[in-house]
Amino acid sequence: MASERPPSPTRGSYAKGVARRQEILDRAIEVFAQRGADKTSLRAIASEVGVTHAALAHYFGSLEELLVAVYRESERKGGRRPVADPDVTPVEIMRISARENREVAGLVQLYSMLVASALEEGHPAAREFATDRFAQQREKLATRVRSNQRAGLIRADVDADAVAALVIAASDGLQTQWLLDPDAPQDAALTLLEDLLAGPQHS
Amino acid sequence: MASERPPSPTRGSYAKGVARRQEILDRAIEVFAQRGADKTSLRAIASEVGVTHAALAHYFGSLEELLVAVYRESERKGGRRPVADPDVTPVEIMRISARENREVAGLVQLYSMLVASALEEGHPAAREFATDRFAQQREKLATRVRSNQRAGLIRADVDADAVAALVIAASDGLQTQWLLDPDAPQDAALTLLEDLLAGPQHS
DNA sequence: GTCTATACGAAGATAGAC
DNA sequence: GTCTATCTTCGTATAGAC
């Protein structure tokens, strides 16, 4: 309790690196929000952060890994605590998530770019990011669907895994359409899906 | 019917250019299918076609415009005649389209990349392509939905425009998930949506 | 471990020769 | 109209100072 003992010599020097990495990441997020996901090269970020582009490569390995880190960190910061109430529908979950993402400039664009890269060969970082994310989201939403079904909020005759995949796909796709054309019926389409899933008894 | 009159001298010299452009486009499609949407640079295409990368820039203006041309031409060639039967559901339309797209290697990846680029600023060609495509698809499908509703194939109490946007979003998103994880319930989710839209009387 | 300096090859764009 | 030559910028890799 008195004086903090310094970390062991063999691993002590990690502290600075971790803090520095976080500092760079925070700045990179700002740069990203301002310049857009596309024009943000390693050199551009490095220049604005105040380091050389080689330093970024040192901390993050590659541009793509930096982009993944930026997205994960942006989402972590912008995201409120996960919705605890099990009676909230999957569509409402995606609605909340979409609203949060839209508040962070460039985040949806970055997500779209990462997913597109993941589809190409030779992009392991993006591929892993997208694959994991879809799998986790599908599992999380499927669990919620089953809970909703027990509570009578979602009709019992639909497959929970299919619903999860469908809701994610619809949410992603509608967000894209909305960015390209704000007149596209994003909310209406999402609400429609929600009503359809609620079953015949929906108000 | 006898002999084709050559085009007028003032515009005749276009003929060679148009033919050459088409020839380059055909080769570019093959190169694309083999190498993937990502690693296909202007130089790579030019090298395989047998011209310099500057020639491609001359014919297509920019890499992005070439990519848009490649996608449009690939889709035109792969697409069968449009489905005439007005009783085919929008979901079935997207299923057919998805099946055709999947037969052309790299086409879905290219589409995903173009849409992602369209979301970024400073990509007018991709932006125009994606905006137009979504608008056309929404209009086409909405008309079909209304027809389906009159025929009793789709429940009458849903908004046709919202259905169109929803079906497109679901189809695009599910195709992406399927590419990243073939175990994702793509068909099940699409069929689910189809059944939900059919209404309470669905078998 | 952290980071700078530097070099390399490849990319898209463009000016101007032919 | 077509293409060579060149410009700038990019991501990555390495060597070595601290």
* pLDDT at res. A81: 81
Number of A:B CB contacts under 8 A?
Answer: 166
* pLDDT at res. B101: 92
Distance from CA of A201 to the nearest CA of B (A): 10
Q: How confident is the model at residue A13 (pLDDT cuts 50, 70, 90)?
A: low
Read off the pLDDT of residues B113-169 as tens digits, 9 standing for 90 and up.
999 999 999 999 999 999 999 999 999 999 999 999 999 999 999 999 999 999 999
In angstroms, the CA B169 to CA B161 distance is: 12
* pLDDT at res. A203: 54
- Cβ contacts, strand D, under 7 angstroms: A 39, 41-44, 53-54, 57, 62-64; B 13-14, 16-17, 20, 51-55, 58-59
Q: How confident is the model at residue B33 (pLDDT cuts 50, 70, 90)?
A: confident
Q: How confident is the model at residue B18 (pLDDT cuts 50, 70, 90)?
A: confident
Question: Is the model's pLDDT at A100 over the cut of 80?
Answer: yes
Decide if B116 and A115 are in contact by the 8 Å CB cutoff: yes
Question: Is the model's pLDDT at A153 over the cut of 90?
Answer: yes
Read off the pLDDT of residues A14-23 as tens digits, 9 standing for 90 and up.
777 788 899 9
Distance from CA of A188 to the nearest CA of B (A): 6
CB-strand contact A59/C, under 7 Å: yes
Read off the pLDDT of residues A167-191 as tens digits, 9 standing for 90 and up.
999 999 999 999 999 999 999 999 9
The integer distance in angstroms from the CA atom of B139 to the C1' atom of D10 is 40
Mean pLDDT of B11-27: 74
Q: How confident is the model at residue A88 (pLDDT cuts 50, 70, 90)?
A: very high
When mean pLDDT is compared across A101-105, B89-93, B184-188, the lowest value belongs to A101-105
Decide if A176 and B115 are in contact by the 8 Å CB cutoff: yes
Decide if A120 and B161 are in contact by the 8 Å CB cutoff: no
Decide if B185 and A173 are in contact by the 8 Å CB cutoff: no
Q: What is the mean pLDDT of chain A?
A: 90
- Contact residues, chain B, for A109 at CB < 8 Å: 116, 119-120
Per DSSP, chain B holds a count of helices (H) and strands (E) of 10, 0
Per DSSP, chain A holds a count of helices (H) and strands (E) of 9, 0
* pLDDT at res. B14: 62
% of chain B at pLDDT higher than 90: 68
Question: Is the model's pLDDT at A134 over the cut of 90?
Answer: yes
When mean pLDDT is compared across A8-12, A91-95, B52-56, B113-117, the lowest value belongs to A8-12
CA distances from B63 to B97, B111, B119, B124 (A): 26, 14, 17, 12
* pLDDT at res. A85: 96
Closest by CA to A173, choosing from B91, B194, B92, B115, is B115
- Contact residues, chain B, for A142 at CB < 8 Å: none
When mean pLDDT is compared across A58-62, B188-192, B199-203, the lowest value belongs to B199-203
A residues 127-166 closer than 8 Å to B (CB): 127, 130-131, 134-135, 138, 158-159, 161-163, 165-166
Question: Is the model's pLDDT at A91 over the cut of 70?
Answer: yes
* pLDDT at res. B203: 54
* pLDDT at res. B10: 33
B188 touches chain A (CB under 8 A): yes
Q: How confident is the model at residue A37 (pLDDT cuts 50, 70, 90)?
A: confident
In angstroms, the CA A175 to CA A187 distance is: 10
Closest by CA to B106, choosing from B56, B167, B179, is B179
Residue of A nearest to B32 (CA): A120
Q: What is the mean pLDDT of chain B?
A: 89
Report the Cα A37 to chain-centroid distance in Å.
14
Cite the beta strand spans of chain B per DSSP E: none
Closest by CA to B113, choosing from A179, A114, A173, is A114
Question: Is the model's pLDDT at B13 over the cut of 60?
Answer: no
In angstroms, the CA A145 to CA A148 distance is: 5
The integer distance in angstroms from the CA atom of A63 to the C1' atom of D17 is 25
Distance from CA of A56 to the nearest CA of B (A): 23
Decide if B159 and A113 are in contact by the 8 Å CB cutoff: no
Question: Is the model's pLDDT at B3 over the cut of 80?
Answer: no
* pLDDT at res. B163: 98
- Map tokens 């276009």 to a residue: B14
Mean pLDDT of B177-185: 97
CA distances from A21 to A15, A61, A108, B135 (A): 10, 12, 23, 43
B174 touches chain A (CB under 8 A): yes
A contact test, residue of B63, B166, B179 with most A CBs within 10 A: B166
The answer to whether A166 and B192 have CB atoms below 8 angstroms apart is: yes
Read off the pLDDT of residues A50-83 as tens digits, 9 standing for 90 and up.
999 999 999 999 999 999 999 999 999 887 788 9
CB-strand contact A16/C, under 7 Å: yes
CA angle in degrees (0–180, nearest 5) for B91-B174-B167? 30
The better pLDDT of the pair B40, B161 is held by: B161
The integer distance in angstroms from the CA atom of B46 to the C1' atom of D12 is 24
In angstroms, the CA A112 to CA B180 distance is: 14
CB-strand contact A39/C, under 7 Å: no
Q: How confident is the model at residue A8 (pLDDT cuts 50, 70, 90)?
A: very low
Q: What structural domains and CATH numbers belong to chain B?
A: 8-79 (1.10.10.60), 82-203 (1.10.357.10)
In angstroms, the CA A190 to CA A187 distance is: 5
